[in-house]
């Protein structure tokens, strides 16, 4: 079965950086679009960024554009999220997810999810 496992979360000061990883198994990784979502306390899960199977196409939410960079290494079945210039409002549980087609931004259109990794940005 498909499994996604996030890692790399932690506590960082405002202005700092973190890199998240999402390892995938049980699928032909390069055939799948991947996305990062996040969910802050008492808020709905929201789209952050997505990447095509080959890595040539990406999409970003306005709130992270210019600060976050999504990438993937298909040889390692791993996706990454480089987060720079972090702000306290970036504090959330970050989830990776996958879908077969398209740079989707809707939670409901993704088929498989990881368990999430906590990112906390202190002011």
Q: Are 42 and 88 in contact (CB under 8 A)?
A: no
Predicted confidence at residue 85, as pLDDT, reads 98
For 41-53, the pLDDT digits (tens) are 999 999 999 999 9
Tell me how far apart the alpha carbons of residues 14 and 24 are, in angstroms, rounded to a whole number. 30
Binned at pLDDT 50, 70 and 90, residue 68 comes out as very high
Tell me how far apart the alpha carbons of residues 75 and 52 are, in angstroms, rounded to a whole number. 15
Written as six digits, the tokens of 74 are: 């298909």
How is the chain split among helix, strand and coil, in percent rounded to 5? 5, 50, 45
DSSP letter string, 34-73? EEEEEE-TTS--EEEEEE-TTSS-EEE-TTTTTTEEEEEE
Binned at pLDDT 50, 70 and 90, residue 86 comes out as very high
Tell me how far apart the alpha carbons of residues 97 and 17 are, in angstroms, rounded to a whole number. 22
């Amino acid at each position: 079965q498909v499994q996604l496992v996030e890692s790399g979360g932690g506590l960082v000061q405002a202005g700092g950086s973190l890199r998240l990883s999402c390892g995938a198994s049980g699928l032909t990784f390069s055939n799948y679009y991947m996305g990062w979502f996040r969910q802050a306390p008492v808020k709905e899960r929201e789209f952050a960024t997505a990447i095509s199977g080959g890595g040539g196409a990406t999409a970003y939410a306005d709130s992270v554009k210019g600060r976050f960079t999504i990438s993937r290494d298909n040889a390692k079945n791993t996706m990454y999220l480089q987060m720079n210039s972090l702000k306290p409002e970036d504090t959330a549980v970050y989830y990776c997810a996958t879908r077969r087609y398209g740079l989707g931004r809707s939670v409901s259109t993704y088929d498989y999810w990881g368990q999430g990794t906590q990112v906390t940005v202190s002011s």
